Amino acid sequence: MEVFLNGAKITTQAATLAELLEEQHVPTEGIAVAIGIRIIRRAEWTTTPIADQAEITLIRATQGG
């Protein structure tokens, strides 16, 4: 299946959000995840399924004023 991760199209075998993050080697500390505009709480990552063509956004803190 294909999903969009921060705008980039990727092919994944992951069934859940937690599996996708692990598969893509994303460090999970200090990040937030949304599918579309639905923010997925950390506790729900393991139970949230990934759908084909899902638009997933991962954000974290960076330097700023």
Partner 1 sequence: MKELVIADKKFSSRLFVGTGKFSSSEMMAKAVAASGSELVTVALKRVELDNPQDDMLEHLHLPGVNLLPNTSGVRNAKEAVFAAQMAREALGTNWIKLEVHPDPRYLLPDPIETLKAAEELVKEGFIVMPYINADPVLCKKLEDVGTACVMPLGAPIGSNRGLKTRDLLRIIIEQSNVPVVVDAGIGAPSHAAEAMEMGADAVLINTAIAVAKDPVNMAVAFKMAVEAGRMAFEAQLAPQNLSASATSPLNPFLEGIKDLQL
Which residues sit at the interface with partner 1, rule CB under 8 A? 5-8, 24-27, 30-34, 37, 39, 41-42, 57-65
21 Cβ contact partners less than 8 Å away, ≥ 6 residues apart? 28, 33, 45, 58
Provide, rounded to whole angstroms, the least separation between the CB of residue 51 and partner 1.
20
Shorter beta-carbon distance to partner 1: residue 52 or 65:
65
Let me know if 16 is exposed, middle or buried by CB neighbors in 10 A (0-12, 13-18, 19+): middle
CB closer to partner 1, 6 vs 53: 6
